Amino acid sequence: MTGQDWLEKDFYAVLGVSKTADAAEIKKAYRKLARTLHPDHNPGDARSESRFKEVGEAYAVLSDPEQRRQYDQLRAMAGGARFSAGSGGAGAGGAGFEDLFGGMFGGGGGGAGPRVRYQSTGAGGPRAGGAGGGAGFEDILGGLFGQGAGFRQPQPGIDLSATATLPFRQAVEGSTVTLSVDGKNLTVRIPAGVHDGQRIRMRGKGRAAEPGGQPGDLVVTVTVLPHPVFSLDGNDLRVTVPVSFAEAALGATVDVPTLDGGTVRMRVPEGTPSGRVLRARGKGVTTGKGTGDLLVTVQVAVPQRLSGTARDAVEAFATATAGEDPRAEMAARARE
């Protein structure tokens, strides 16, 4: 993504958020648009695919605090204008080069503000300065576009940004995706166990600052779509399993689904309360750091309706346990 892209594109408008939106608002807007425009939901729709890429570009910049700060500064400084090759006059097609730099140094477009002039620096070639020298012209451009005075020393490569939206299963198992970056398609490997919002740096997949120079990196921000049953916690998978009151009170062995489509049999101990976490070792996600576990949260299911026989049984249970107060300890702790 180039400096000119930043001047031309209103990323806030692309995501439909205000310029003061916080990180949570930006992420929420992106995830909503990504779900709607994802190519899997719009096969063959070129317009949706193009919008999906635009939304991804906008999120990649606005979700990164440093890139967002630079984007806001550049847009504010340039006023959203494009560079023109002319002198900045009425026929130059928009704000001119001097207009932009006049804004930087406190002057107007050809007004009373200081003008950029050249001065000789000997072997280093021409530089630009004010009355007392100061920052060189190449230094000014380098600050804007990350290039600097390339004829004096090799310049580091330019990092590029992109986004990838993955279904939960692909994120857990790893996936190869094709991304449109800097006008070309790149195939990258997303490692297994990637998390929502995680940034992955692809070394050497960026752009060189100068011909023959070393390329920068590609930073991919990953959005993971939620799964209806499982969630990811490091290398562990989490799942909530409902059990009946009788199973929780008396103990039971239940079948718990696993991500590979199978099940694992787990023992629910007698007297298990809602919220207790059981562990199935080795049933989580396998990454370079090892294999995680399946963490099973027990949730005691309460029937919405009771038959006459079931109601009688519950009432009999209530009578038998009338002297017990499950909130007694809580009331005592509240007075501490």
* Token code pair at residue 310: 């079931």
In this prediction the pTM is 0.53
**Distance (Å, whole) CA 9 – CA 6:** 6
Where do the structural domains in the chain lie, given as residue ranges?
3-145, 160-224, 230-334
Angle at 302 between CA 298 and CA 306, to 5 degrees: 150
Q: 3-145 belongs to which CATH class?
A: mainly alpha
Give the model's pLDDT for residue 78.
Answer: 67
Give the model's pLDDT for residue 264.
Answer: 96
- Tell me whether domains 160-224 and 230-334 share a fold: yes
- Is pLDDT at 145 greater than 80 in this prediction? no
Amino acid at 277: V
Q: Which residue has the higher pLDDT, 130 or 267?
A: 267
**Distance (Å, whole) CA 103 – CA 75:** 12
In which residue are the tokens 């440093």 written? 66
Backbone angles phi, psi at 74, to 5 degrees: -65, -40
Q: CATH topology for 160-224?
A: HSP40/DNAj peptide-binding domain (2.60.260)
- Is pLDDT at 117 greater than 80 in this prediction? no
- Is pLDDT at 143 greater than 80 in this prediction? no
In which residue are the tokens 């939304």 written? 55
Average pLDDT score over the chain: 78
pLDDT tens digits for 30-69? 999 988 888 878 888 888 888 888 888 889 889 988 888 8
Q: What is the DSSP string of 179-226?
A: EEETTEEEEEEEPTTPPTT-EEEETT-SBBSSTTPPB--EEEEEEEPP
| Cβ within 8 Å of residue 290, ≥6 positions away | 235
- Cβ pair 197, 175 in contact under 8 A: no
CATH for the stretch 230-334: 2.60.260.20
pLDDT band at 83 (very low <50, low <70, confident <90, very high): very low
